[in-house]
């Protein structure tokens, strides 16, 4: 044993203690009775599980198609049914433990059995129940090893050893146990934060009585609050005094003042946009630089515009504050457009407005409120008489819906049906006799 590393020496010491404990159990009548009780408890749990499993499955399975809160709770509880066997075995073993301790004044074997049943429950939880990839990863590499140490009775020794190992980060000194505890707590807290944020986002988006800008602001506020609370709880769990982060906060402030000022500016601009509601998700906007599209998402840094051809343009929030932005309308509101056309000079122009207005009014997407289609005389061109039809539609003629194109088709067909000629460019050339002067 001499000359071996400390960890090898300790491992051999634990192995020797385990061997002596096993020999003591094998030669003890009390240990054999506890083994027998463990077997009886497991068999009783097995029989009870087979009896209860169909009943519980029937009670917890809601009718197909139900989506209310009670149905969702029943489906959630149903996924934990596989834990019934190890938990019943743990329960029956706990009942027998009191009897054994009163008879033999010892219960080491049965206490070990209880811990083994908990280990089996943890293994079933990770293997068969947890579906989220992150939680399954944490269960596989954290929960199961911890449950194994607890089952073997080595948890206290492992915790004590890890508490003696320290890691220094500047003025902050943390034990390895505190770091592990922080990793576990951080993973759980931020997973819960992500889940809570998804639930709050879904709930707030369903509140249609709120303005889109108000909904987006509430979603961002909820996200910042949830993850802010998670961060504070994590610092508390790791035992880090928040005042120790004052220097780091000062450094971040200096960084915001210099290198990160654009990020800070975009973040503040995003908050202003959400509060004032000048542009929000669903609006069709055109920026001073020529970018145009429907706002499909607003983040803390930028807004994402989707063009009519399906491309996404990322526009910094600051551009909405510092440059000229044309906001055509909120999603689904009425907008006015024009369709220009010309007729021949041989046409009786007094009949044209009624013909065109009647034809365009038959289109199902053309509105009569706030105004019916209106055909106006615009001027006398070089080749023909110029008209323009003003019409209102719900939505944006952004190339995807092509309202103007359908209106022009209707105008063309109406003119053809009434034998009205659409002129094409032409010129009259007057050639005169020119006498050559010598």
* Dihedrals phi, psi of 57, to nearest 5 degrees: -60, -40
Of the candidates 270, 288, 290, the one whose C-alpha atom is nearest the C-alpha of residue 280 is 270
Residue-level pLDDT at 410: 93
Local confidence band at 377 (pLDDT 50, 70, 90 cut-offs): very high
* CA–CA separation, 387 and 338 (whole Å): 10
Who wins on pLDDT, 206 or 434?
A: 206
Q: What is the mean pLDDT of residues 218-230?
A: 78
C-alpha distances out from residue 224 to 100, 193, 219, 288, Å = 54, 10, 9, 31
CA dihedral 51, 54, 60, 61 (to 10 degrees): 180
Mean pLDDT on 207-233: 74
> Residue 433's pLDDT is what?
66
Name the CATH architecture for the domain at 279-329. Roll (2.30)
The percent of residues in the chain predicted with pLDDT above 70, rounded, is: 77
Least confident of 33-42, 250-259, 395-404: 250-259
User: pLDDT category, 213, cuts 50, 70, 90?
Assistant: low
User: Which two structure tokens, joined as six digits, stand for 23?
Assistant: 């020999």
Backbone angles phi, psi at 293, to 5 degrees: 170, 180
Neighbours of 83 (CB within 10 A): 17
Considering only CA atoms, give the Rg of the chain: 38
Q: Does residue 140 contact residue 187 with C-beta atoms inside 8 Å?
A: no
Q: Helix (H, G, I), strand (E, B), or coil: what is residue 280? A: coil
Residue 204 is predicted with a pLDDT of 76
Q: What is the pLDDT of residue 275?
A: 72
Give dist(CA 346, CA 384) in Å, integer.
Answer: 9
Q: How far apart are CA 357 and CA 368, in angstroms?
A: 11
Residue 320 has a pLDDT of 81
- The whole-number pLDDT of residue 287 equals 81
Task: Tell me whether the CATH fold assigned to 279-329 matches the one assigned to 334-417.
Answer: no
For 269-316, the pLDDT digits (tens) are 777 777 776 777 778 888 887 778 888 887 777 888 888 777 888 888
- Per CATH, domain 334-417 is 3.40.50.300: no
Mean pLDDT of the chain: 77
Among 25-29, 159-163, 201-205, where is mean pLDDT lowest? Answer: 25-29
CA distance linking residue 295 with residue 293, whole number of Å: 6
Exposure class string for 386-404: b at 16+ Cβ within 10 A, else e = bbebbbbbebbbbeeeebb
Q: Answer whether 391's CB lies under 8 Å from 385's CB.
A: no
DSSP 2: T
Longest Cα–Cα distance of the chain, Å, equals: 147
Q: What is the pLDDT of residue 386?
A: 92
Q: Determine the pLDDT at residue 196.
A: 80
Q: Does residue 368 have a pLDDT over 70?
A: yes
Asked which of 43-52, 160-169, 179-188, 325-334 is least confident by mean pLDDT, the reply is 325-334
Find, among 168, 165, 185, 184, the residue nearest to 176 by Cα.
165
Strand order in 334-343's β-sheet?
Answer: 334-343, 385-394, 374-380
Higher pLDDT: 105 or 412? It is: 412
Q: Is the pLDDT of residue 56 over 70?
A: yes
Distance CA 248, CA 204 (A): 34
pLDDT digit string, tens, across residues 69-91: 787 788 888 888 888 888 888 88
Alpha-carbon gap, residue 288 to 327, rounded angstroms: 11
Token representation of residue 405: 């194109």
Whether the predicted pLDDT of 413 surpasses 90:
yes
What residue has token string 């973040």? 267
Instruction: Give the list of residues 6+ apart from residue 305 with CB closer than 8 angstroms, or none.
Output: 285, 291, 292, 293, 294, 295, 296, 312, 313, 314, 315
Can you give the residue ranges of every domain in the chain?
A: 6-164, 178-257, 279-329, 334-417
Cβ partners under 8 Å of residue 326, min gap 6: 285, 286, 287
């Amino acid at each position: 044993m001499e000359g071996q590393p400390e960890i090898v020496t300790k491992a051999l010491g634990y192995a020797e203690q385990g061997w002596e404990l096993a020999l003591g159990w094998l030669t003890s009548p009390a240990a054999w009775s506890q083994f027998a009780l463990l077997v009886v408890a497991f068999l009783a749990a097995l029989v009870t599980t087979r009896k209860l499993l169909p009943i519980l499955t029937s009670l917890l399975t809601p009718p197909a198609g139900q989506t209310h809160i009670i149905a969702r709770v029943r489906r959630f509880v149903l996924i934990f049914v596989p834990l019934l066997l190890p938990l019943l075995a743990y329960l029956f073993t706990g009942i027998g433990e009191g009897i054994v301790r009163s008879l033999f004044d010892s219960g080491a074997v049965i206490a070990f059995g209880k811990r083994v049943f908990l280990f089996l429950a943890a293994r079933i939880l990770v293997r068969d129940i947890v579906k989220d990839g992150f939680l399954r990863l944490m269960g596989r590499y954290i929960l199961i090893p911890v449950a194994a140490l607890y089952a073997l009775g080595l948890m206290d020794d492992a915790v004590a050893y890890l508490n003696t190992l320290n890691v220094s980060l500047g003025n902050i000194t943390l034990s390895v146990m505190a770091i592990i505890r922080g990793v576990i707590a951080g993973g759980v807290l931020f997973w819960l934060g992500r889940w809570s944020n998804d639930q709050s986002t879904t709930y707030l988006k369903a509140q249609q009585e709120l303005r889109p800008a108000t909904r987006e602001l509430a979603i961002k506020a909820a996200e910042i609050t949830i993850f802010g609370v998670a961060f504070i709880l994590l610092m508390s769990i790791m035992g880090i005094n928040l005042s120790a982060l004052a220097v780091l906060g000062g450094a971040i402030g200096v960084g915001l003042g210099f290198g990160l000022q654009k990020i800070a500016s975009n973040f503040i601009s995003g908050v202003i946009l959400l509060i004032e509601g000048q542009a929000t998700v669903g609006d069709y906007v055109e920026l001073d630089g020529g970018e145009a599209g429907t706002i499909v998402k607003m983040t803390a840094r930028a807004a994402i515009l989707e063009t009519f051809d399906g491309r996404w343009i990322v526009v910094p929030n600051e551009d909405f504050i510092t440059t000229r932005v044309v906001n055509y309308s909120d999603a689904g509101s009425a907008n006015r457009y024009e369709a220009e056309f010309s007729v021949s000079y041989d046409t009786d122009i007094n009949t044209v407005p009624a013909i065109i207005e009647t034809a365009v009014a038959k289109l199902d997407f053309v509105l009569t409120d706030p105004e019916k289609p209106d055909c106006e005389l615009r001027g006398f061109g070089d080749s023909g008489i110029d008209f323009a039809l003003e019409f209102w539609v719900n939505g944006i003629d952004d190339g995807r819906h092509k309202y103007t194109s359908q209106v022009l088709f209707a105008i063309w067909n109406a003119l053809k049906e009434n034998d009205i000629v659409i002129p094409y460019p032409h010129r009259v050339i007057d050639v005169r006799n020119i006498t050559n002067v010598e």
